[in-house]
Structure 1
């Protein structure tokens, strides 16, 4: 195997450029999942929805995400990474137009489901592509750009929501062309989707895919011109050997001795599930509704949500800086402790709430404690579990099953995202926010135990290194 010392310095500008282009799928991932936040209350009023139906309108995207994630890995092996990125961009455009012009709740659900297909596809293809073009010593930082793009997308969505609501007067008030502001919140997603599609056409194909389909000369050019290898033939041999005589991946490759699956798949699925079970998206999908329910005005709720999104973006740089220096496992453990403390503070605060329905209030000083606790949680999530999970999923699977394994684990991530998103408003009304946030804190504690006992650290190893895999 070509050693790290024997490798040429990567073409830093090129590899960063193609990584950013691929990671723009993450920006759309964040934008399209979070943009509904500012429109929630307006959609509820527009279509006269009860909490359960509103929860499904928000969460149906995540069913599409699960389906898109499942099929993306298979399509990536059949068509190549680039073509799947372009498909995702087309779906993003269609979803933004359809959702923004929806005439009924069921129509809105269909278009949000289509948007979910695009998001799920992007959530698989970006980390797979980045892991395959990034040199080992830069892979953690470059893989973290996916999460930076996601958090930037969330921030841009909440910022545009706040701008449109403030410019129109409220999310329900008319804005450009006589359409209410909440519709423009959904329509503006067309712009980043078109940019993503254009950039996807200009990046090189992954060398792993090119070698899988026999395009050796093209793979060599990518390895030399993007990755910067001094010995591209050795790297090509490493990749080809890693396929282990398999012409293409198939579902049978995922089978193993642990309840029918390979042990590494269970680790990936557990990490993917825990990232959602700590409740991060309860904050980003429902934060405006949440803060209004405990006494914030609509304007203050938008402002608070934007500040939280800024924190989310800023702290992602911490992960980019430390993920290759500190290691994946240590960052996840630190994150679990910080998330637990923040969620515990929020749970205790919300347990002090009085009133019910839309008339909940938090007595002093518990409103401030809840706000601080929620943002402490976001700080530790953004610096650790948010980006590091995608880095880990992009690199722990062997080459021959990476696309399909990523599809499976991303699907699990989206299914648990769906469950949390759907149940959050229902459980909040039924048992109260204190118990809901207490449950999130429990999963943060479980995430610490899981990482400590079962999570391998794969920092700094080439994708072809079998030593990183968990032994059965």
Structure 2
């Protein structure tokens, strides 16, 4: 059969889900675990770092969110690095940067030193956040791609849970996050140092993964791609495999590297599909989800909860996030991506609006804010419903879409750009939250509710369904 014929005839059987394939996807998804762990570990350190270095709201917000600037930089260069040097080497870079950051933050001697190491760790998080969905999408059969891709989000929320749990345990054992613990180091320093273990494990396991077949084809290694498609993806040797290689060749440029200029060509600069990816990423952050994970301990203390209660609330919220993500895994390949996003946007709009109303009832008691009557419980329930709405939809589905919605010839760079936009939006939200909180939590959550409503309209009008489509059939 000629190569032209192979390109014309779609490859209906693009592999099966094997134990080895799931294991590989799980290892790649450890990048998501580190993403979540690094993002959440700062939560338990916020008040202690404020006291240790005497920080005001502005500098505290920057200390928390500076990692997001690094993540934006890392996300962009992850696309470049993965396209030039491969998906596996990009994972190893992420592991190294996060390991260095864990040590630097744990032994930081001043706020600017801490900010620098947070920035370095952010670059590693950016690398990890991009390469996991890209790699999983490129090794997964289309019929199971959604479920396998959501492993990243499951790993992410598991990382958030473990970070919250360990922070609570360390703070409890030390008598508070600012208190001295083992070897004379404060508890908050140990919270940062715990990141070293999963970062090293990720690097060791990633080094044993085979390279993506699409990257191998692009680099001219057809034989290597053939082995991965047969041994890992589960395709039958012979015509089916040769058809798949021909399809990949037809959708990548084997004669030159991808260039940033490939993303341009639309009416507003970037191609329309690239803009949709950027806006998906931005809306995912503008609903304020990471405020829950970065500041929840401080937020609940600000309205009358004790530190121990605030830590426990954060742990409960992270468990809720895990359960919601498991729901998303079971539904994403059944009901599709678009419907999940629409339902999630509706739930987030209602729950965020309820939180805004609840926080508007706050009163001052003995010089401290408190939520009277049942308003504290209403706010807590609404916050967890918000996490459910996000965790079952926008959390995992955006990463699934970013990993699969772009054609092969621009996927690496477009995914990197979309992820960079996500981190920049995350930075804006996280940096502004302390100032908005001082003006009133009802203002902050009212704004986030407005963006949740806008996200519903955006998905309804512009986002295309990708469920069941092979990567080689994605078009601009």
Alignment TM-score > 0.5, same fold = yes
User: Which secondary structure does the structure 1 equivalent of 2:445 belong to?
Assistant: helix
Deviation at 1:355, TM superposition (A): 3.2
- Rounded Cα–Cα distance in structure 2 between residues aligned with 1:226 and 1:461: 20
Does the C-alpha gap of structure 1 residues 166 and 213 become closer, same or farther in structure 2, counting only changes over 3 Å? same
**Match of 1:59?**
65
Deviation at 1:356, TM superposition (A): 9.8
Q: 2:180 aligns with which of 171, 174, 182?
A: 174
- Rounded Cα–Cα distance in structure 1 between residues aligned with 2:150 and 2:178: 37
C-alpha distance after superposition, 1:409-461 (max 9, x if no partner): 000000000000000001111x2110110110001100100000000000011
User: Which secondary structure does the structure 1 equivalent of 2:232 belong to?
Assistant: helix
**Match of 2:82?**
76
1:255–1:262 Cα contact (<8 Å) kept: yes
- Rounded Cα–Cα distance in structure 1 between residues aligned with 2:47 and 2:432: 17
- Rounded Cα–Cα distance in structure 1 between residues aligned with 2:381 and 2:54: 33
Deviation at 1:359, TM superposition (A): 1.9
**Match of 1:189?**
195
**Match of 1:461?**
469
- Rounded Cα–Cα distance in structure 1 between residues aligned with 2:366 and 2:426: 24
Q: TM-score with structure 1 length normalisation?
A: 0.97
**Match of 1:279?**
288
C-alpha distance after superposition, 1:278-330 (max 9, x if no partner): 00001100000000000000000000000000000111001111000000000
Deviation at 1:258, TM superposition (A): 2.4
1:438 matches 2:446 = yes
1:379 matches 2:388 = yes
1:260 matches 2:269 = yes
- Rounded Cα–Cα distance in structure 1 between residues aligned with 2:114 and 2:145: 38
Deviation at 1:5, TM superposition (A): 4.8
**Match of 2:4?**
none
**Match of 2:214?**
208
Q: How does 1:15-414 map to 2 (within 5 A)?
A: 15-230=21-236, 231-243=240-252, 247-355=256-364, 359-414=368-423
Q: 1:452 aligns with which of 419, 440, 460?
A: 460
- Rounded Cα–Cα distance in structure 1 between residues aligned with 2:455 and 2:293: 20
User: Which secondary structure does the structure 2 equivalent of 1:227 belong to?
Assistant: coil
- Rounded Cα–Cα distance in structure 2 between residues aligned with 1:356 and 1:121: 46
- Rounded Cα–Cα distance in structure 2 between residues aligned with 1:112 and 1:79: 25
Aligned length: 466
Cα RMSD, aligned residues only: 1.4
1:292–1:298 Cα contact (<8 Å) kept: yes
Q: How does 1:418-437 map to 2 (within 5 A)?
A: 418-429=427-438, 431-437=439-445
Deviation at 1:244, TM superposition (A): 5.1
- Rounded Cα–Cα distance in structure 1 between residues aligned with 2:468 and 2:93: 32
Deviation at 1:178, TM superposition (A): 1.0
Q: Which runs of 5+ in 1 are unaligned?
A: none
C-alpha distance after superposition, 1:42-78 (max 9, x if no partner): 0000001011111000000000000000111001111
C-alpha distance after superposition, 1:250-271 (max 9, x if no partner): 0111011221110001100110
2:342–2:459 Cα contact (<8 Å) kept: yes
